Structure 1
Amino acid sequence: MDFQLDDDQRALKAGVRELLTARFGHESLRAAVDNGPALDRTLWRELGEAGFFALRLPEADGGVGLGLPEAVLAFEEAGRVLLPGPLVATHLAAGTVDGAATGETVVAAVDGELVEWLAEADVVRGDAAGAEPLRSVDPLTPLHRVPASTEPDPAAVLRTSLLPSLLPSLLTAAEQLGTAARVCELAVQHARTREQFGQPIGAFQAVKHLCAQMLVRVEVARAAVYAAAVTADPLDVAAARLLADEAAVRGARDCLQVHGGMGFTWEADVHLYLKRAWVRTQRTGGATQSEDALADDLLAGTAQ
């Protein structure tokens, strides 16, 4: 299989980056943080007009007619700019919920005991009865906790843990990949410009090692995420999700370390990337479910 991007895919990735950079650049990000987590409906509709939510919808149904690899590229760019909103839930609802594909309808989804952007959603998939606001570590991801109404079936819990939900987990991994790549860029930029003892801090071996390790994690996660988008194999997705989660969380922490005391301040963007990465790890197909899926496959292989 060829996991390299073709010309059309590179053009799609560049186009999505151009759109998101223009509409949700640094100033927009900081304004959103200062004003609180309110969804920009105008931007949401612009994403719909650009085909973001309808990428995988057949052309006969009014969609773009592309595949999972292209959706992964788009979500990678969304993760790069920390685009807020229930992107995964709305994208997955295109074709089944009226207005989701065009961005006229915002869709949220209950994910275990959590639901993101419940108050802003026009449609909620799943039972959100009794949901209560939950303080979110990420200022741009409002959360609600959904109480468990009944005791879960142990067998059902086991099946769920061994087979992570494919599409939500892969698209989340793509967002994590975009975040990991961006914090690596931010760390390198700071290491080149910040000076100590008369030279850029990037000249110091400890900082070089941090940046190099970040880049390695990004490229390993990128290979895994892109491959999983092509194979659509649940185990490939589980591995990609683990690697992308690690690249995003550890990358943001290392980026903060490179920034030093500046990185801990509210004015720096580094903490926003770390907090969003933390929140995403709690979505379906996160560490526990992905690890269980891979472990189950390994045990099944040794038993044969």
Structure 2
Amino acid sequence: MDFRLTEDQRALRKGVRELLARLFDREALRAAVDSGGRLDRGLWRELGTAGFFALRLPEDEGGVGLGLPEAVLLFEEAGRALVPGPLVATHVAAGSVLGAAEGDVVVTDASEGLVPWLDEADVVLGDAEGAVPMRSVDPLTPLHKATTVEGLPEGDGLVAVLLTAAEQVGSAERTTEMAVSYAREREQFGQVIGGFQAVKHLCAGMLVRAELARVAVRAAAVTGDPVEIAGAKLLADEAATGNARDCLQVYGGMGFTWEADVHLHLKRAWVRAELRLPAARAEEVVAARL
């Protein structure tokens, strides 16, 4: 089986990256941070018009007619750009909730007892009754705490886990690029820090984590195997959080400032890791198969 991207898939990835660069550049990212957890409905409708939510819907239902491997590519790019909002829940609900595919309706879900973007959502999947607001570490993901936790995911729940893992992969790849770029520019002791062995090792480790997670997520998108999806989520969570931490180390003191974007990747990675199939439960799924 050939797992390399096809020409159409590469074109899709390139188009989505260009679309998000136009719709959600760094200025828009910072504006979203300053908005205090308000969702940009204009951005949501633009994503709907571009087919972001309807990608996997059949063409005769107004969708794009592509599959889960292509959806993974979309969500990798969304993870790179730190696009806010319940993207995964709205995408998964596009075939069942009227208006979700077009971006006219915002859908969230109550998974793992956490409900993101509850105040901004038009539709909530699952039981969010009695959910109370909680302080989120990520300024771009407002959270509520629900009283119930769902069982092991299946069906659309598994798709949501995989797409969340794809977002983590995109973030891990982006922080790797950020670290390498900074290491080539920042000078200490008369030379760029990228020439120091310790920094080289950090960047090399980031690349390995990101590549392993990417391969696992894309393979699981082809097989659809629940255990492979759980394993992919484990690797993706580790890559996103580990790479963001190492990127902070490469940046040094600058990485810990509010003006740098590194901390936003780390905080989003922490939240995604808990939203769907956290590590302890994913490990149990994989261990049961073994």
TM-score w.r.t. length of structure 1: 0.93
The structural deviation recorded for 1:112 is 2.6
The structural deviation recorded for 1:163 is 10
**Conserved in 2, the CA contact under 8 Å of 1:48 and 1:103?**
yes
Alignment partner of 1:221 out of 203, 213, 231: 213
Find out whether 1:205 has 2:180 as its counterpart. Answer: no
The structural deviation recorded for 1:280 is 0.3
Structure 1 equivalent of residue 28 of structure 2: 28
Point out where structure 2 has 5 or more consecutive residues left out of the alignment: none
The structural deviation recorded for 1:147 is 2.0
SS in 2 for 1:282: helix
Deviates more, 1:161-170 or 1:126-135: 161-170
State how far apart, in whole Å, the 2-side matches of 1:288 and 1:19 are.
36
Letter in 2 for 1:294: V
State how far apart, in whole Å, the 1-side matches of 2:32 and 2:154 are.
37
**Conserved in 2, the CA contact under 8 Å of 1:164 and 1:289?**
no
SS in 2 for 1:189: helix
The structural deviation recorded for 1:284 is 2.0
171 and 293 in structure 1: CA distance in 2 versus 1, 3 angstrom threshold: same
Structure 1 equivalent of residue 73 of structure 2: 73
Find out whether 1:94 has 2:86 as its counterpart. Answer: no
Find out whether 1:183 has 2:181 as its counterpart. Answer: no
The structural deviation recorded for 1:193 is 0.3
Letter in 2 for 1:228: A
State how far apart, in whole Å, the 1-side matches of 2:102 and 2:153 are.
33
Give the count of matched residue pairs: 290
**Conserved in 2, the CA contact under 8 Å of 1:249 and 1:274?**
yes
Residue pairs, 1:135-284, within 5 angstroms: 135-148=135-148, 157=151, 160=152, 165-284=157-276
Letter in 2 for 1:258: V
Identical residues among aligned pairs (%): 67
State how far apart, in whole Å, the 1-side matches of 2:73 and 2:64 are.
14
SS in 1 for 2:129: coil
SS in 1 for 2:206: helix
TM-score w.r.t. length of structure 2: 0.97
Structure 2 equivalent of residue 301 of structure 1: none
CA offsets, 1:96-147, max 9 Å, x none?
A: 0000000000001111311000000011111211111110000000000112
**Conserved in 1, the CA contact under 8 Å of 2:183 and 2:194?**
yes
SS in 1 for 2:230: helix
Find out whether 1:288 has 2:276 as its counterpart. Answer: no
The structural deviation recorded for 1:165 is 3.7
State how far apart, in whole Å, the 1-side matches of 2:158 and 2:23 are.
30
The structural deviation recorded for 1:35 is 2.1
Question: Which structure: larger Rg?
Answer: 1
Structure 2 equivalent of residue 302 of structure 1: none
163 and 109 in structure 1: CA distance in 2 versus 1, 3 angstrom threshold: closer
Find out whether 1:103 has 2:103 as its counterpart. Answer: yes
CA offsets, 1:169-220, max 9 Å, x none?
A: 1000100000000000000011000000111000000000000000011111
SS in 2 for 1:281: helix
The structural deviation recorded for 1:8 is 0.4
SS in 2 for 1:188: helix
Letter in 2 for 1:95: G
The structural deviation recorded for 1:161 is 8.0
The structural deviation recorded for 1:236 is 1.1
Query: Structure 1 runs of 4+ off > 2 angstroms?
Result: 160-165
The structural deviation recorded for 1:60 is 0.9
SS in 2 for 1:39: coil
State how far apart, in whole Å, the 1-side matches of 2:279 and 2:74 are.
23
The structural deviation recorded for 1:286 is 2.4
SS in 1 for 2:133: strand
State how far apart, in whole Å, the 2-side matches of 1:296 and 1:76 are.
28
CA offsets, 1:28-73, max 9 Å, x none?
A: 1111112221111111001001100001001111100000000000
